[in-house]
Amino acid sequence: MNEPHLLNTCRKLLSFDESTGLFNWIVSRGTKKAGDLAGGLTHDGYWTIRINRKHYAAHRLAYLMTYGYLPQFIDHINNDRADNRVANLREASKSENCRNRKSHKGSSSKFKGVFWHKSDKRWRASIYIHGKLRYLGQYMSEIDAAKAYDQVAIKEFGKFAKTNKDMGLL
């Protein structure tokens, strides 16, 4: 469905509360009655809404209904995929959206940008900037490596930085 058509369809079927990020049906549809909460959570934490047999990410519909267009990428500022308040959504490039990620699962460190270097028996910090891995040094302390990552992330990524401190790890 193209953007103008999707926007018109959404406005006919849904009401959106910008302060809560929640959608309600304006009209009854199948088992859903007018006034019912629209959509549900997916297994990966995104809120989706089904319109004409197609599932749409609620954050994309929220952005469309608020601003009248769909950017290629939308970032959840607080990293909560179910929080679709307009104040929590911002347009982003692919790389900006990726910067706001948490630490990878299965990493040797709980901190983002930090890993244990077995042969040197030290913690290393690194960061991806413009698609290239930048080495930030070796540290005796895992916390010092995390602080080094945070410092560079803030400098390079600004408001899109997701630091270890932001995640409550430091």
pLDDT over 90 percentage in the chain: 68
| Assigned domain for 170 exists | no
Categorize the per-residue pLDDT at 145 as very low, low, confident or very high, splitting at 50, 70 and 90. very high
Q: Are 26 and 12 in contact (CB under 8 A)?
A: yes
Q: From the CB of residue 73, how many other CB atoms can be counted at a distance below 10 Å?
A: 15
CATH classification of the domain holding 52: 3.90.75.20
- Segment 6-29 shows an average pLDDT of 95
Query: What distance in Å separates the CA atoms of residue 126 and residue 112, rounded to the nearest whole number?
Result: 9
| Assigned domain for 97 exists | no
CATH classification of the domain holding 148: 3.30.730.10
The structure's pTM equals 0.72
Domain that holds residue 81: 3-92
Final residue belonging to a domain, choices 35, 67, 92: 92
pLDDT at 129 over 70: yes
